[in-house]
Amino acid sequence: SKIRESLLAALSSAEDSYFSGQELADQAGCSRTAIWKHIEDLRASGFMIESKRKKGYRLLGKADELNENNLLVGLQTDRLGRSVHYFESVDSTQKIAHSLAQENAPEGSLVIAEEQLSGRGRMARSWHSPKGTGIWMSLLLRPSLQPQKAPQFTLIAAVAIVEAIEKTCELKVDIKWPNDLLIDGKKITGILTELQADSEQIHSLIIGMGINVNQCAEDFSDEIRKIATSLHIESGKTFSRAGIVQQILLNLEKYYHIYINEGFEPIKVIWEKYAITIGQHITARTFNKEIKGLASGITNEGVLKLIDENGETHLIYSADIE
């Protein structure tokens, strides 16, 4: 809303100074009670705003930068995101996370950037990552599991992100197997899980997450605008990216824990609640073939089951779905 925007603009115009409720109300052209309500809303979406008697309100730090300080203040996890590698601009956070993995960086290390110059998707596709508007991050995990289990982490991350968006932005998100999150059919998030492993064992698993947060429609190229959206476009609100990152990490830690202790089953149940692919007639395009059929569910490994017109079941490990 206008009030919210004016409030944010005022608070960030002079970092570290206090503004009285009256001052803010005058600027926004509303009552002090309205200001108070909007401050509460901003806090709920992750902005750190201090209020002090007789002084007023103050924005703590540059609220929306994803630097280590902003990410760590208020972070509720034990391990995930405790070691932050923050960059203004990188080629790809995946690339950096891969080198950190080889330098024995601890589990839970997070690489995050304001901008990626060559963000990547699956199969050498690119991921548009403009400056300061989205969440471009890679999380390093070191589960002692067989490499076949890696695709499950895409589904775990999907559930963690969907629930984080629901909670911090009050928007409903669908999962399209395997790695897309959609709002009303448009892509809000892409997930890319990569690993370093030998044939028996995962050494490190890198979950890349790209989330469109505060982009306006004009921030997308014509081509991407047709298929993509952002949390801002969907809600008209501007969100604190740090608040969303913190909620994702908290959810991921919870589901990672459940997964390690109880296996994939409990996560599969939640995943199915958000999945739109299941029960639909789809076309799955893998790198060497195309199969049409009914998506009947996923296996306990997270593999898609597709029943073709002859009633034969195909297991799809990775594909583009239409």
Least Å from the CB of residue 91 to ligand BTX: 8
User: 30 or 233, CB closer to ligand BTX?
Assistant: 233
User: 157 or 250, CB closer to ligand BTX?
Assistant: 157
Least Å from the CB of residue 214 to ligand BTX: 12
Bridge partners, 211 (sequence order) = 135, 189
Least Å from the CB of residue 56 to ligand BTX: 38
User: 28 or 100, CB closer to ligand BTX?
Assistant: 100
Least Å from the CB of residue 231 to ligand BTX: 12
User: 79 or 225, CB closer to ligand BTX?
Assistant: 225
Least Å from the CB of residue 19 to ligand BTX: 35
User: 38 or 120, CB closer to ligand BTX?
Assistant: 120
Tokens representing residue 184 in the block:
């009303």
Least Å from the CB of residue 90 to ligand BTX: 8
User: 63 or 321, CB closer to ligand BTX?
Assistant: 321
Binding positions for ligand BTX, rule: CB under 6 A:
92-94, 116, 119-122, 125, 127-129, 136-138, 179, 187, 190-192, 208-210, 212, 224, 227-228
Helices 150-169 and 241-262: crossing angle in degrees, nearest 10, is: 140
Least Å from the CB of residue 187 to ligand BTX: 4
User: 10 or 295, CB closer to ligand BTX?
Assistant: 295
